[in-house]
Amino acid sequence: MKITRAWVNICSPGRNFVTLKVETDEGFYGLGDATLNGREMAVASYLTEHVVPCIIGRDPFQTEDIWQYLYRGAYWRRGPVTMAAIAAVDVALWDIKGKALQTPVYNLLGGKSREGVLVYAHAHGNSTEEVIADVQKHMEMGYLAVRAQSAIPGLDSTYGVPKKAQPYEPAERGLPSESRWSSELYLRHTPRLFEKLRAAIGEDVHLLHDVHHRLTPIEAARLGKELEPFHLFWMEDPVPAELQEGFKIIREHTTTPVATGEVFHSIWDAHDLIRNQWIDYIRMSVVHSGGLTHLKKVADFASLYHVRTGCHGATDLSPVTMAAALHFGIAVHNFGIQEHMPHSAETNAVFPHAYSFKAGYMYPGDAPGLGVDLDESLAKKYPYQRAYLPINRRLDGTLTDW
């Protein structure tokens, strides 16, 4: 089999998505997600200008060789743009392989290690009462694990809480919006939130929380310690993670489990975190870390150190990535949990898919390949619109991590 054609689709059914479609001479085609939130066109251009010409004529079954060709062969390695482009090709080829062999991708990754993929939902609110009600709503919907994010008294807006009564979507059209941040106010409020939340809902549901890279290691250590009585499933992205050693300080002070990795691109971003057992969950996603070929190696390495997976699954990861994550999550032995932030109705219509949710778990479905399609004529109705993630400043105006 040979790759005969590949092209990039850019659409915005509620938010922007970049999708690679790869066709073969035997009539099979595959899809790969290449969306990099707020920097979409860089990956689209990388693919169209630099990658697509190099894959025409290659055998789509050679996922390992093509991965090495695009990674080592570029000379310039790693980085979010490069790794998202490689991921798009890699995932499209796994999709083709599954379709050609008439089997779901999970069978090519080792087969099912479990019956369903445990997922966690997002709950949020402008007050503790609203957060409690939203967590309870998700429990009624069947979720067994829920992430809780709250507005912080004294701050106008914060990560994870929608400004209006609508599903949370951080990217906004127009230029980047600006938020204000205070670690002091956040650290004061968050343990009180979880104390009331646990008291209201009991111990049976898993609770998670995303710090979203905003603290220093010693502040994160304090938060983790104060949250210990409320038994979080994890505390996510407690600090910006360029300095892997920073996690050592957190680890030395608290038994609250730590998860990180949604902005990582390769094993080298997590190598020290994993081999020193400074984290419990590695959150790298298929789309931002070089596809299934690389993520499988990350998971296998992590499994040696008791580190489990917890793939990023926000709405800026397209249904193609969601499907890939579910095939991956049902197959890898050291799976932990999968984030589930449901896509809009427009997005779901543009990307019809075989995966489903039932009673706290998601299922990849049994369609050959990934089980996701792209309705290209419907996608045309939603042209790309430039959008950015917000930026964040401290109360005195200093730029900080969003």
By annotation, the residues acting in catalysis are 159, 212
CA 346 to chain centre: 20
Using CB positions, name the residue nearest to ligand EZ4.
314
Site string for Co ion, 152-191 (x = CB under 5 A): ----------------------------------------
Work out what residue 90 binds among Co ion, ligand EZ4, none; the CB cut-off runs from 5 to 8 Å by kind.
Answer: none
Work out what residue 37 binds among Co ion, ligand EZ4, none; the CB cut-off runs from 5 to 8 Å by kind.
Answer: ligand EZ4
Work out what residue 161 binds among ligand EZ4, Co ion, none; the CB cut-off runs from 5 to 8 Å by kind.
Answer: none
| One-character DSSP codes across 180-233 | EE-HHHHHHHHHHHHHHHHHHH-SSSEEEEE-TT-S-HHHHHHHHHHHGGG--S
Work out what residue 316 binds among ligand EZ4, Co ion, none; the CB cut-off runs from 5 to 8 Å by kind.
Answer: ligand EZ4
> Does 33 contact Co ion by CB under 5 A?
no
Work out what residue 170 binds among ligand EZ4, Co ion, none; the CB cut-off runs from 5 to 8 Å by kind.
Answer: ligand EZ4
- Considering the complex, state which of residue 23 and residue 262 has its C-beta at the smaller distance from Co ion: 262
Cα distance between residue 45 and residue 170, in whole Å: 24
- Considering the complex, state which of residue 389 and residue 391 has its C-beta at the smaller distance from ligand EZ4: 389
Residues 6+ apart with CB under 8 A from 228: 254, 255, 256
Residue ranges that bind ligand EZ4, judged by CB under 6 A: 37, 170, 210, 212, 262, 312, 314, 316, 339, 389
Residues 6+ apart with CB under 8 A from 275: 305
Distance of closest approach, residue 71 Cβ to ligand EZ4, in angstroms = 23
Count CB neighbours of 7 within 10 A. 13
Site string for Co ion, 249-278 (x = CB under 5 A): -------------x----------------
Distance of closest approach, residue 210 Cβ to ligand EZ4, in angstroms = 5
- Considering the complex, state which of residue 244 and residue 285 has its C-beta at the smaller distance from ligand EZ4: 285
Q: Which helix (H) or strand (E) holds 295?
A: helix 291-303
Distance of closest approach, residue 104 Cβ to Co ion, in angstroms = 28
- Considering the complex, state which of residue 200 and residue 391 has its C-beta at the smaller distance from ligand EZ4: 391
Residue in the structure block whose two tokens are 């000379």: 75
Using CB positions, name the residue nearest to Co ion.
210
Distance of closest approach, residue 102 Cβ to ligand EZ4, in angstroms = 34
Cα distance between residue 241 and residue 248, in whole Å: 11
Work out what residue 314 binds among Co ion, ligand EZ4, none; the CB cut-off runs from 5 to 8 Å by kind.
Answer: ligand EZ4
Residues 6+ apart with CB under 8 A from 239: 211, 213, 215, 216, 217, 220, 246, 247, 250
- Considering the complex, state which of residue 314 and residue 370 has its C-beta at the smaller distance from ligand EZ4: 314
- Considering the complex, state which of residue 152 and residue 367 has its C-beta at the smaller distance from ligand EZ4: 152
What token pair was written down for 49? 């200008």
Distance of closest approach, residue 285 Cβ to ligand EZ4, in angstroms = 9
* b/e map 134-159, b = 16+ CB within 10 Å: bbbebbeeebbbbbbbbbbeebebbb
In this structure, are residues 147 and 209 in contact, taking their beta carbons and an 8 Å threshold?
A: yes
Work out what residue 33 binds among Co ion, ligand EZ4, none; the CB cut-off runs from 5 to 8 Å by kind.
Answer: none
Cα distance between residue 27 and residue 339, in whole Å: 34
- Considering the complex, state which of residue 62 and residue 385 has its C-beta at the smaller distance from ligand EZ4: 385
Distance of closest approach, residue 57 Cβ to ligand EZ4, in angstroms = 35
In this structure, are residues 286 and 312 in contact, taking their beta carbons and an 8 Å threshold?
A: no
Distance of closest approach, residue 124 Cβ to ligand EZ4, in angstroms = 11
Give the neighbor-by-neighbor strand order of the sheet with 178-181: 178-181, 391-394, 399-400
Among 23, 33, 90, 210, binds Co ion (CB under 5 A): 210
In this structure, are residues 310 and 319 in contact, taking their beta carbons and an 8 Å threshold?
A: no
**Residue ranges that bind Co ion, judged by CB under 5 A:** 210, 262
